[in-house]
Chain A
Amino acid sequence: MSGPPGSGAPPADRDRALLAAVAGGDEAGLRGLADRHGSSLLAYLTGLVGDPPLAEEVLQDTLLAVWRGAAGFVGGSTVRTWLFAVARRRAVDALRRRGTGPATDDDGVLAQQPDPAAGPERRLLARADLDRVVAAIGGLRPAHREVLALACVHELSGQEIGAVLGVPVGTVKSRLRLARAALGRLLESTQDGDGDG
């Protein structure tokens, strides 16, 4: 008896083999993709929609879209990137149905704010306690939390993040820079608050 499609191959090739199996109507292909990427997608979607039950619904919707649209994959990106892109689109649709807008692209607004080139907030970010940085991430704008998650947690490259978000890679780098700068400012403001108190 043979193993699941693509077993033993490098991860990207294994994903392609699984997706090709899905395109051919093989349920094992979909189970294989869910095993490999389901947890990661669920964590991403939970961060994106902010509601675990809704994230599960969106994941189900995503896998249904993958089942129906696998033949539409043209190989211009990795399967993993494509899955994240499909998941994001489904999440945005779900949020719209609920009357909640998706994370807005606020690069223009934040680009006006200074980047702490070598200021005290930079040293703060590098030396802050983990708990404080975790709390500060919660204070970021949604678009910046999302780009941090895609880069640092799901380990997508700048190019891949651009494909998921539908923006140029330069915009991804800019968002990463602004997110880091915003974290520095948030830490500085909470430290000032602590000092005042």
Chain B
Amino acid sequence: MADRLDPGHPGHLDEAELVAVVLGRAGPTDRDHPRACPACRDRLAEWSAVRAAAVVVAARPTRPVPATLIDEVLAAARRPPPARAPVPAVRPGPRLAWAGRLLAAQVPLLRRSLLAASGLMFLLGVLVVATGRSGAGLLAAVVPAAAAVGLALLHGPEVDPAVELTATTGTSPRVVLLARLVLVLALDLVLALAATAVARLGSADVAFGALVTSWFGPLLLLSALSFALAVLTRPAIGMAVALGLWLLRLSALWPETEFGRLPLAIDRLDGFARVWNTSLPTIAAALALIALTLAVTPRRMRFAG
């Protein structure tokens, strides 16, 4: 407990822990802490008073759950859904508006993955700069890995606090997943293009197109792998495999650097490194992997309990 930092009260029990002590649900360490800590003892006394009052407030509505409630629910469930007016064959306006709302609704849920990707971008940038790579090499090294980490953190109970809630909505998990994929991939591409424009300033002898080619294919393939493994297994596995593959790629690509001293930097990785380029087969493989992942994502989530 002592190592935890409550932003409001550093070194003390935080608010949720104090409430747990009041409710008798805290562990022995938290339970004993206020005895030796006057500050937490004061806050605990406050929470005891708040809890007592909150219980009184909650007890005010005296209406019991109606005895017929479940029968009404089941009757409503058995009722056939109301007949719908025939849907016009083409409704681009409402459909576009709906897609826009769906994309916008994903933004607050993606902050964590985007922060993680940015953090990785920074860390890898420092690492690659330490090996003395050029701006073009830095882009090729950092951009695909950062995008892959972001995509590994798109979806799943471990990384998405709203996943259970999403499962109760009428929108299928597949559509939500696709919306997030489009959103993050688009953002990654915009950021990568901006970074390329900046890198171009320091590498005037290299064409902008050549710089984009250095990362585009690898970004797509590594992101597709990371996304597929994250959705079909777990986000951590998607992230770990993507980063592992990427280290191998750097190791084979730059044998003269620190990456080349990795135990797996052996000659036979040359063929492996050649896969990571911007070519039609690589792009097609990445898109096929994404399509396959979306195809096997269930329209409704399975019960996992």
Cα distance A47–B20 when bound, in Å?
22
Query: What 0/1 readout, one digit per residue, does chain A (1-24) give for beta carbons within 8 Å of chain B?
Result: 000000000000000100110010
Please indicate the chain B residues that have their CB under 8 angstroms from the CB of A128 in the complex. Answer: 49
| Cβ-defined contact, B56 with A134, below 8 A | yes
- Across the interface, A77 reaches (CB within 8 A) one of B42, B61, B164, namely B164
Which residue of the partner chain, among B42, B54, B66, B161, contacts A149 with CB atoms under 8 Å? B54
Give the distance in Å from the alpha carbon of A128 to the alpha carbon of B58 in the complex.
19
Among B7-15, B240-248, B283-291, which stretch is in contact with chain A? B7-15
Q: 1/0 per residue A148-163: CB within 8 Å of B?
A: 1101110101100111
Known interface pairs A75-B304, A155-B25. Does A126 touch B73 (Cβ–Cβ under 8 Å)?
no
B303 touches A118 (CB 8 A): no
- Interface footprint category on A: 35 or more
Tell me if A31 counts as interface (CB < 8 A to partner B): yes
Query: Among B8, B76, B161, which residue has the most Cβ atoms of chain A within 10 A?
Result: B161
List, in ascending order, chain B residues with CB within 8 A of A107's CB: none
Whole-angstrom CA separation of A154 from B256 in the bound complex: 61
**B46: which A residues are within 8 A, CB to CB?**
122, 125-126, 180, 184
Give per-residue flags for B16-53: 1 if the beta carbon is below 8 A from chain A beta carbons, else 0.
10011011010000000000000100110111111111
Interface string of B132-162 (1 = CB under 8 A from A): 0000000000000000000000000110011
Tell me if A's interface is mostly helix, strand, loop or mixed.
helix
The answer on a CB contact under 8 Å between A60 and B16 is: no
Contact of B50 among A19, A89, A148, A157 (CB under 8 A): A148
Assess whether A152 is in contact with B63, with CB atoms less than 8 Å apart. Answer: no
Known: A71-B302, A130-B56. A152 touches B19 (CB 8 A): yes
Q: Determine how close the nearest CB of chain A comes to the CB of B78; give it in whole angstroms.
A: 10
Q: CA–CA, A138 to B54, complex, Å?
A: 10
Contacts of B300 in A (CB 8 A): 71-72
B99 to chain A, nearest CB (A): 20
Residues of B within 8 A of A183 (CB): 50
Asked whether A42 lies within 8 Å of B65 as measured between CB atoms, the reply is: yes
Contact check, B7 vs A174: say whether CB atoms are below 8 A apart.
yes
Q: Which of A59, A79, A133 contacts B49 (CB 8 A)?
A: A133
Return 28 A-B CB contacts under 8 Å, by A number.
Answer: A19-B303, A34-B70, A43-B59, A46-B61, A55-B61, A59-B65, A60-B69, A64-B73, A67-B77, A71-B301, A72-B167, A73-B301, A74-B163, A74-B304, A75-B305, A76-B164, A118-B39, A126-B49, A130-B53, A133-B53, A134-B53, A136-B53, A149-B57, A152-B50, A155-B23, A167-B161, A173-B14, A173-B16
Binding site for A on B (CB under 8 A): 6-8, 14-16, 19-20, 22-23, 25, 39, 42-43, 45-59, 61, 63-66, 69-70, 72-74, 76-77, 157-158, 161-165, 167-168, 300-305
Known pairs A23-B303, A86-B168, A176-B19. 12 more at Cβ < 8 A? A30-B73, A46-B63, A56-B69, A59-B69, A64-B73, A71-B300, A74-B163, A75-B157, A133-B49, A136-B53, A137-B57, A183-B50
